[in-house]
Amino acid sequence: MSETIFDKIIKREIPADIVYEDEQSLAFRDINPQAPVHILVIPKKAIATINDLTESDEQLVGHLYTVAAHIARAEGIANDGFRTVMNCNEHGGQSVYHIHLHVLGGKPLGWPPYAGD
Ligand code: AMP
């Protein structure tokens, strides 16, 4: 699988505003934030899309959510609420092919996200 920009962030080849790291995951602020708090939680293992997940990744994906909850508490958005999103492929709006959980909050977020058409 070809390397993505997120692999370069994991390897510190390009800078990112990293807010959390452990053996399995890394979290950093989105470069184009869509909310006052917009953080991406990624596995260090390169998995291109949700479609590429296998049963062996179940613990890892669950871990991304516990990291998201930790980050929400640390950012002070846990109680008011926040949103997690993982986009898949073109119709899902995925632009970086290394799975990532968006953590968005800091204001009331619109729902549903569907914008028409
Ligand atoms: P998605 O469209 O779901 O694949 O989300 C990819 C996200 O990565 C977008 O919200 C981008 O703004 C974000 N992004 C792309 N490059 C970088 C970068 N170098 N540092 C931080 N966030 C990035």
* Distance in Å, CA 55 to ligand 1 centroid: 26
pLDDT of 21 strictly over 70: yes
Q: Which of 38, 70, 98, 100 is catalytic?
A: 100
Nearest atom in ligand 1 to the alpha carbon of residue 85 is: 3
- Which domains does the chain carry? 5-105 (3.30.428.10)
| Protein residue with its CA nearest to atom 13 in ligand 1 | 30
Apex 26 CA angle, 36 and 54, nearest 5: 115
| φ/ψ (deg, to 5) at 14 | -130, 155
- Condensed to tens digits (0 to 9), the pLDDT of residues 85-108 reads 999 999 999 999 999 999 999 999
| 72 pLDDT more than 90 | yes
